[in-house]
Amino acid sequence: MKKDKKINEFLYFALRNKKLRVGLIIVLFFLVLAFIGPMLTHNKPFAYVNPRGAEPPSSEYWFGTTFFGQDVFAQFAHGLRATFLVGIIGGGLGTLIGILVGFTAGYRGGMVDEILNVLTNIVLVIPTAAVLLIIAAYLEVRSILMECIFIGFTAWPWAARAIRAQTFSLRTREFVDLARMSGMRSIKIIFTEIAPNMMSYLVMTFILQFGGAILIAATLNFIGLGPTNAVSLGLMMQIAVLWGALQLGSWWWFIPPGLAITAIVGALYVMNVGLDEVFNPKLREM
């Protein structure tokens, strides 16, 4: 009963928040497009369908065709799927590792905290993108899943730091002390007493990691170090730039993928601020 009320209250403020609404609509729009897009076209992303080469958008090819006569819309729709996949798996993995490290460090404190802290700082300071670049370059066949795992394993320190700080401040609250005195096990305390109190925080961390993973993946793909066996938005842009779409003025080739990434990640960030306002009444605009 009480829980229902809480959810209702959350929904009330969530739906009234303009930032959250706008962000959510944009993300959902692209998500739906990623689902149904590939079904709207029978062209394969890399098939040479238009013998006339590069052509601007038309009723036959909605986003035009590439220099080689490939259907840009087919590439775009399939690439969008890859983008969401990387966001969910890569961002999810990053969040998960961040949660594990953050909870452990923040709750246990002492030596464990020190060690994990040093580890987090080290991974934070090392420009992971450079490491990713090198690893990606040495693997000849790369799959999307592999890319997700790379990203997840290098993106967690931000999440870990933030979650550790929150756990640290919750650890000394009375209700946690009470739970500890009643003989509850640490793991149970973390998941039943601490985690629910920072659920909003965890959700926001996931959204940020989601957006971050998409950006990193786009960067890697753009330099040509992305998955070797799949289309992605970054790869589309790389091929476009490589084959002189800029010089030839084939804007339809590289604008859609760049715009989609910007829109998705930007919408995620805006959503995050909106959520912050929903969860934290102090931040709401008066």
Partner 1 sequence: MRRYFGRKLLIYVLTFFLAVTIDWLIPRFMPGNPVQTMLSRAALHAEAMEVMRGYYTRAFGLDVPIWQQYLNFWAALFHGDLGTSVYMFPTPVARVLARAVPYDLFLLIPSILLSWYAGNKFGAFAARSKWLDNTISPLGYVLTATPYMWILLAWFFGIVLGVFPIAGAYSFAMRPHLSWAFIGSVLHHWFLPFVSLFLVGFGGQAIGMRNMIIYELEADYSHYLEALGAPRRLVRKYAFRNAILPQITGLALSLGVIVAGALVTEVVFSYPGIGYLLLAAIQNQDYFLIQGCFLFIILGVLIANFAIDIAYVIIDPRTRRGMTGETA
List of residues contacting partner 1 (CB under 8 A): 114, 118, 121-122, 124-131, 133-135, 137-140, 158, 168, 211, 215, 218-219, 222-223, 225, 237, 241, 246-247, 249, 251, 254, 258, 261-266, 268-270, 273, 276, 282-283, 285
Q: How far apart are CA 273 and CA 267, in angstroms?
A: 10
Q: How far apart are CA 45 and CA 257, in angstroms?
A: 14
Closest distance of CB 268 from partner 1, Å: 8
Closer to partner 1 at the Cβ: 22 or 184? 22
Closer to partner 1 at the Cβ: 29 or 191? 29
Q: How far apart are CA 157 and CA 125, in angstroms?
A: 10
Q: How far apart are CA 203 and CA 276, in angstroms?
A: 10
Closest distance of CB 195 from partner 1, Å: 21
Closest distance of CB 283 from partner 1, Å: 6
Orientation angle between helical segments 199-223 and 128-138, nearest 10 degrees: 50
Closer to partner 1 at the Cβ: 77 or 240? 240
Closest distance of CB 25 from partner 1, Å: 14
Closest distance of CB 157 from partner 1, Å: 9
* Phi, psi (degrees; rounded to nearest 5) at 172: -95, 5
Closer to partner 1 at the Cβ: 41 or 123? 123
Q: How far apart are CA 234 and CA 247, in angstroms?
A: 19
Closer to partner 1 at the Cβ: 11 or 248? 248
